[in-house]
Structure 1
Amino acid sequence: MELQNKATSLWRNFFNVRMVQIRTFHMTWFAFFACFFAWFGIAPMMIIVREELGLTKSQVGWTIIASVAVTVFARFFIGWFCDRVGPRIAYTSLLLVGSLPVAGIGLANSFESFLIFRLLIGVIGASFVITQYHTTVMFAPNVVGTANATSAGWGNLGGGVTQIVMPLIFTGFIVGFGFTDAAAWRASMVLVGGVTFGIGIAYFFLTQDAPDGNFKDLRAQGKMQSKDKVTGAYFAAMADYRVWLMFVIYGACFGIELLVNGSIALYFVDYFDFFKGMPLARAAVTAGMIAGLFGLMNIFARTLGGIFGDNFAALWGLKGRTTWLFIALLGEGLALMLFSQMPILVLAIPTLILFSLFTQMSEGATYSVVPFVNKKALGAVAGVVGAGGNAGAVLGGFLLKSEAYNSNWDDAYLTIGMIVTCVSVLALFIRFSPEQEAEERALFEKASIDGLQMHADQANAALARSVAIVEDYNRTHPDNKA
């Protein structure tokens, strides 16, 4: 059953927050931004934490794995939860519960306790699934790829901003309040946890599940399938081979982004002579600033992936979306291999940016395909594919801490780049029936026409208002007509 009154445009109504679709779009990306910021808030301060807790390189590897491992299971669950209770309640619940371990990690005083909190924080990464779910139910086929990619990309931006901002907050507690290094990183995480809790409350009051209301009301009106059908649709989606191909594909793009977010600051400090002999606090800030460039590409890169997905669809239908996914993923794999071989920092930075561009375009391309795989189990597809991202990060984490690569992360990055290049071919095996291709092309064209009609109506209304203003002026100023 297709939800009605989805928005057919994003950019032309971008600041019209009175439209529930636009207001929800802004809340979803901002909530995801906060979650991503909290999720990886500790990463740029790991140089300090490693020193204080006396962590070995292997133990650091385990914390990287822990930060993304539990998210695999959380994303499987959260997709089903969205289908049952709606994205509004799902997001609110996740933000409130997830804020607790974010703040609680400040209590860690050993490797074991730090690892447990790092594991629990990973639950908040399930926010991505809700973000993609919520924008999908709010936007029509002609812009859903762009809306999904932009909301996710701007949310992922939190992973780059946290690399820059958290060291500054940490420094602020030291300089402004006289905290020790140990107290400063703990206070920084408590602050982030409190902000996350507040955003959870705001999400409940500022959004609704769908353009025409909340799921509970729509089910009562017979406009949505009942709750008892959700589980059956979930398992039907799980049996679709395309879902699992995309599970692997998303592991090769978003999974790699997660892995890089959790390791890149340490990689710069450990592998480039620029940082040799630099005080730890200064090294943390400097490496965080450089590492932040990777995440900052989310300002536009993931959106580009969605825009190209929608444009390829306009030309070649659903097959166009999967073809673009292959191209973006291939570029990511080649760029990562190139980055891994850069011997000096001045060459590593531009190749990191190139790698980031293709990685995030691949993510946007993936979720320009997701809404069309199974509309009756959108949560299941979004959740399973999203979980693939974290599964990829977990496997990459094991690679970083393995005996073969434990001292050679550059070689590990090279191997991962080769794997991504091979995985890109899987995108060409995601097929749709001729009937669905025809149906989706018709829906795409209808949404495009509706969008043009809406803009024409808005233009006519604006012209009518202008004419009315001129006529009113002429009536009130007969001696000075406009």
Structure 2
Amino acid sequence: MSAQTLKLLSFSGKIKILHMTWIAFFISFVVWFNHAPLMLVIAQTLHMSGSQIKTILILNVALTIPARIVIGILVDKFGPKRTYSTLLGAGSIPCFMFAFATSFEQLALARFLLGFIGAGFVIGIRMVGEWFPARQVGIAEGIYGGWGNFGSAAAAGILPTLALLYGGPEGWRYAIATTGAIALIYSVIYFFSVSDTPKGSTYFKPKKAGAMEVTSKGGLFFYILMTIPLYVTLSLLTWKLSPEGVSLFSNFVATCIYIIIWILFLYNVYKIVHVNREHLKHPIAEIHKYKFKQVAILDLAYLITFGSELAVVSMLPLFFFETFGKTQGISMVEAGLLGGSFAFINLLARPIGGWISDKFGRKFSLSIFVLGLSAGYFCMSLIDSKWSITLAVLLTMACSCFVSGGCGAVYAIVPLIKRRMTGQIAGMVGAYGNVGGVLFLTVLSFVSAPVFFMIIAAAGLCVLLSVQFIDEPKGHMAEIQEDGTVEMIELG
């Protein structure tokens, strides 16, 4: 039904924009995760220790949290065409650095910088939201997110094959460099193949850059409050890289980084107040208002959906091996393939989640998905060595359907809050997904896998309660054109 509605086999108009944009996202994720399937051979080449391998994995996500906020600001100001093209082109540079690094320090710096390309997801949310009407935006965003996100899984299959084709002990270098070259070439193709809006439409930009505009003093306070977990998570990542974790740097350096992080928080608070101070002094017409609680609730919903997905995908292969390795004789490779079933579902479940949101209502759909994932994780906490592998995998895939569908349902709402700030809203919501991944993996380091699943299930029920306070998008949102006239954008 969705294919007929959107005519996905077409390559013109809004369908062309959708295809060009999910491919850009796909490439950005291939580049972002190009190290993962080759990590062991990279470690052998550069004689890396287990601690250094863990460091590289942490550094890969460290910059993505602030990057999603920054990219959200840039896409709203400069438009998705220029922002995506620039990100892909610029992202190829640290990719080449990583490919030809000759020391751990060079490798670590390049991986840290590559975290920025992981923020590319935010850009396409604004682009797709500009081209598709509210009645189709859910499934369009779901296709964009689901098919693009598959780049991480594709990297796992493509990169080892490329390395073997190049041959030799350093074939991995040319395989990784190839992904950088593809990103660089596609950055040019994308720039000359798309436009920010359909012909005749206005690209609405924020009045001020640097922070999101709010339309009430309560929203201002709520906005500041919701930024705190982002800086807490960056501090947590710093702790993991300190002598308390993998010892990438000394306690003195860690302390300096903590200070920098919280100075940046204070500066962010200043920017939030500065951007909003003047217009909040005057009455704001009702048609121009939006409720920041919509953003906050979507932050939490993406924390539990995509955040849990990030964490579970990382630990599931080892969980399956430790659970079934001795009793049912599965190997690490087989456990990895079984664990991959969780992420594979994303390819279809995200678009379906967006379509269900379009069809049956945003709030109702998101509620069902969050309830389903809570039940799924609770059931996964009961898996032990006495279960059949088939039943365990089927349960895992069923849970993943709700998790990925929930991701699609979240981003079916994001473009319907305030058009000119869609990038910033998408950036903040996306950052919370990474926050969830870091928090849940930190929890996992202190508890057993069954308790880990139980904690996610309990967190899901708390988020489910918060979702009941979200307002169903309906009617119209108002945006002001450059000549001062007001344009009403339909929400349903």
1:293, distance to aligned residue in structure 2 (A): 2.6
Residues 138, 45 of structure 1: alpha-carbon distance in 2 compared, 3 angstrom cutoff: same
Please, which of 7, 14, 17 is the counterpart of residue 8 of structure 2? 14
Please, which of 95, 99, 108 is the counterpart of residue 102 of structure 1? 95
Could you tell me the TM-score, scaled by structure 2's length? Answer: 0.73
1:116, distance to aligned residue in structure 2 (A): 3.2
CA distance in 1, matches of 2:9, 2:369: 30
* Stretch moving more, 257-266 or 359-368: 257-266
Please, which of 172, 176, 180 is the counterpart of residue 193 of structure 1? 180
1:355 matches 2:342: no
The match for 2:300 is: 248
CA distance in 2, matches of 1:162, 1:22: 25
Q: Deviations over 1:182-230 (max 9, x none)?
A: x2433322222222222211111111100026xxxx7xxxx45566445
The match for 1:468 is: none
Q: Deviations over 1:376-418 (max 9, x none)?
A: 3222211111111111122223334x3x24xx45543443343
Q: Deviations over 1:397-445 (max 9, x none)?
A: 3334x3x24xx4554344334323432322112125xxx63447xx999
Residues 117, 419 of structure 1: alpha-carbon distance in 2 compared, 3 angstrom cutoff: farther
CA distance in 2, matches of 1:51, 1:234: 49
The match for 1:473 is: none
Structure 1 residue ranges without an equivalent (≥5): 1-7, 314-320, 449-482
Structure 2 residue ranges without an equivalent (≥5): 224-291, 478-486
The match for 1:132 is: 125
CA distance in 1, matches of 2:467, 2:28: 29
1:171, distance to aligned residue in structure 2 (A): 4.0
1:68, distance to aligned residue in structure 2 (A): 2.2
The structure number with the bigger radius of gyration is 1
| Equivalent residues of 1:167, 1:288 under 8 A apart | no
* Stretch moving more, 79-88 or 107-116: 107-116
1:396 matches 2:440: yes
Residues 62, 437 of structure 1: alpha-carbon distance in 2 compared, 3 angstrom cutoff: same
CA distance in 1, matches of 2:391, 2:398: 11
CA distance in 2, matches of 1:70, 1:369: 26
The match for 2:271 is: none
| Equivalent residues of 1:145, 1:364 under 8 A apart | yes
The match for 1:306 is: 354
Residues 147, 10 of structure 1: alpha-carbon distance in 2 compared, 3 angstrom cutoff: farther
Structure 1 residue identity aligned to 2:463: V
Please, which of 365, 384, 387 is the counterpart of residue 343 of structure 1? 384
- The root-mean-square deviation of aligned C-alpha atoms, in Å, is 3.4
SS of 1:425 mapped into structure 2: helix
1:283, distance to aligned residue in structure 2 (A): 5.0
Note the 1:131-210 alignment, pairs <5 A.
131-173=124-166, 177=167, 179-180=168-169, 183-210=170-197
1:325 matches 2:366: yes
CA distance in 2, matches of 1:306, 1:390: 21
1:267, distance to aligned residue in structure 2 (A): 4.7
Please, which of 419, 422, 439 is the counterpart of residue 462 of structure 2? 422
CA distance in 1, matches of 2:87, 2:176: 18
Please, which of 360, 364, 379 is the counterpart of residue 408 of structure 2? 364
Structure 1 residue identity aligned to 2:156: Q
Q: Which has the higher contact order (CA 8 A, sep 6+)?
A: 1
Residues 347, 250 of structure 1: alpha-carbon distance in 2 compared, 3 angstrom cutoff: same
Please, which of 21, 24, 34 is the counterpart of residue 17 of structure 2? 24
Residues 396, 108 of structure 1: alpha-carbon distance in 2 compared, 3 angstrom cutoff: farther
1:337, distance to aligned residue in structure 2 (A): 3.6
CA distance in 1, matches of 2:136, 2:406: 17
Residues 196, 259 of structure 1: alpha-carbon distance in 2 compared, 3 angstrom cutoff: farther
SS of 1:83 mapped into structure 2: helix
CA distance in 2, matches of 1:191, 1:288: 25
Residues 293, 188 of structure 1: alpha-carbon distance in 2 compared, 3 angstrom cutoff: farther
The match for 2:239 is: none
Structure 2 residue identity aligned to 1:188: A
| Equivalent residues of 1:163, 1:288 under 8 A apart | no
| Equivalent residues of 1:267, 1:409 under 8 A apart | yes
The match for 1:211 is: 198
| Equivalent residues of 2:125, 2:423 under 8 A apart | no
Structure 2 residue identity aligned to 1:429: F
Could you tell me the TM-score, scaled by structure 1's length? Answer: 0.74
The match for 2:253 is: none
Q: Deviations over 1:219-263 (max 9, x none)?
A: xxxx45566445575455874232122112111111222234444
| Equivalent residues of 2:380, 2:395 under 8 A apart | yes
1:73, distance to aligned residue in structure 2 (A): 0.7
| Equivalent residues of 1:65, 1:394 under 8 A apart | no
1:88 matches 2:81: yes
